[in-house]
Amino acid sequence: MNTNSTQHFQLSVADPTPLGLFGLAVVTMVASAQKMGIVSDVSWVLPWALFCGSLAQIIAGILDYCHRNIFGATIFSAFGLFWAAVGMSWMIKAGSFGAGLSAGVDAKTIGFAFFAFFLFACIGTIAASSANLFLFVDMVLIDILLICLALDAWKIGGHAPHAIAAYSEMAISLLSMYGAGAAFLNNFYGRTFWPLGAPINKWKQ
């Protein structure tokens, strides 16, 4: 008699979307202020990049895996790692890991990383178009930010890519804060308190 049995269980967790979007909103607001010249350097941007931009989004991504939400799990986790890498790049450039690494910095290298994330974000934008209008617009703005960061790192287009990146990043911040609030309040009240807009297509059945 075979007594072997397999038991399955599913971890029940709250929707991590508000946390992930809040982390994104905070780090992009601080980073855009630096790009606009409102603040002078990235020293005080770094903590927000590592904790809000990186840690908060990675936590949200892991919890979305528990929700079996492939979009949130992948996007939050990927961009959480993105901000960790950006933060470490700033630290390397500042000499935190020694003068040798700092002296060998080539800004064009990070341009290729920005471009790789741009390509991935474009894929995410396709999926977002089937989710809701907020998510689609937010992803389009992220696409614009990433390609402009790449062009700026490669010294293509003069000052324009830097300026566009700064304003698109601020727009991402404000829109993501709205999205975080909508996700939080809609879940809290169990109804649509703040609308996120209908998807722009019906590709997802």
Is 17-183 a domain of CATH 1.25.40?
yes
**Residue 13 amino acid letter:** V
Q: Cα–chain-centroid distance for residue 165? A: 14
In whole angstroms, what is the distance from residue 200 CA to residue 55 CA? 31
Contact 146, 117 (CB under 8 A): yes
Domain edges within the chain: 17-183
Q: Where are the beta strands (DSSP E) in 43-162?
A: none
In whole angstroms, what is the distance from residue 44 CA to residue 48 CA? 8
Note down pLDDT in tens along the chain; length 205 residues.
Answer: 455 666 655 667 899 999 999 999 999 999 999 999 998 888 889 999 999 999 999 999 999 999 999 999 999 999 999 999 999 999 988 888 888 888 878 889 999 999 999 999 999 999 999 999 999 999 999 999 999 999 999 999 999 999 999 999 999 999 999 999 999 999 999 999 999 999 999 898 7
The closest of 128, 116, 117 to 17, measured between CA atoms, is 128
In whole angstroms, what is the distance from residue 96 CA to residue 114 CA? 22
User: Does the model's pTM come out above 0.85?
Assistant: yes
